Amino acid sequence: MLGGYCGPREYMERLSQELQRVDTGALDDLARLIFDAWEQEANVFVCGNGGSAATASHLAQDLAKGVIRESDLRDGSMRRIRSISLAANLAWLTALANDLGYEQVFAQQLANYARPGDLLIAISGSGNSPNILRAVEWANSHGVITFGMTGFDGGALKRLQHKGLHVSLDDMEMVESIHSCVCHWVVDDVRARIYQQGRHAAVPASR
């Protein structure tokens, strides 16, 4: 379902209003889960379809590179976030879709790489994409933590995920815009956790 047409100012005002309604506790949960994965050297997998695939790959790239300072990237001494977009390998996606069915394209990749304690971030505006649901079901049954990002009524994903962020709107374009926007905050917060900045600054020990 597409949102009704409006001018650019009206669109930005609506986006701002909807962002104000986002559950910040859910965002904090996601940032903490990613930081925990970094501390434990666990994998962070991200998946989605269409626009959500673009958001998944963007988030995975930002986590892999964007949370680490350039100087630390260059000297290679800093631990990285082991983030992988399951939507990025076109050859593997099409092989799995052709041979096993499109609903298996993410779950089968997890079967190759995922370990207990890893994190799966599953992005689906409808919450009902079969390949997303199969991936979350596989992850849940193999000790992988699952975090869903949904819209509309949350669909089956909202019921399957361990934790999640739900944008309660019947407008796919606005849902995808919000998912993309909040991922940038999550990246910033994970960086602050790693470098102990802002609200995550180390508290000096009392004497």
Give the residue numbers spanning the domain of 164. Answer: 23-196
Contact indicator for 155, 170 with CB cutoff of 8 Å: no
Q: What is the mean pLDDT of residues 67-89?
A: 94
3-state helix, strand, coil in the chain (%, to 5): 55, 10, 30
Q: How far apart (Å, rounded) are the C-alpha atoms in residues 151 and 183?
A: 15
31 assigned to some structural domain: yes
38 assigned to some structural domain: yes
How far is C-alpha 57 from the chain's CA centre?
9
158 assigned to some structural domain: yes
CATH number at residue 84: 3.40.50.10490
Contact indicator for 51, 176 with CB cutoff of 8 Å: yes
The mean-pLDDT minimum among 72-76, 128-132, 145-149 falls in 72-76
Per the structure, the count of domains in the chain is 1
207 assigned to some structural domain: no
What pLDDT digit, counting tens, does each position of 155-205 carry? 999 999 999 999 999 999 999 999 999 999 999 999 999 999 999 998 554
Q: How far apart (Å, rounded) are the C-alpha atoms in residues 151 and 159?
A: 13
User: Going by DSSP bridges, is the β-strand pair 119-124/82-85 parallel, antiparallel, or unpaired?
Assistant: unpaired
**For residue 207, what pLDDT is reported?**
36
pLDDT band, very low/low/confident/very high, at 123 (cuts 50, 70, 90): very high
17 assigned to some structural domain: no
107 assigned to some structural domain: yes
pLDDT band, very low/low/confident/very high, at 4 (cuts 50, 70, 90): low
178 assigned to some structural domain: yes
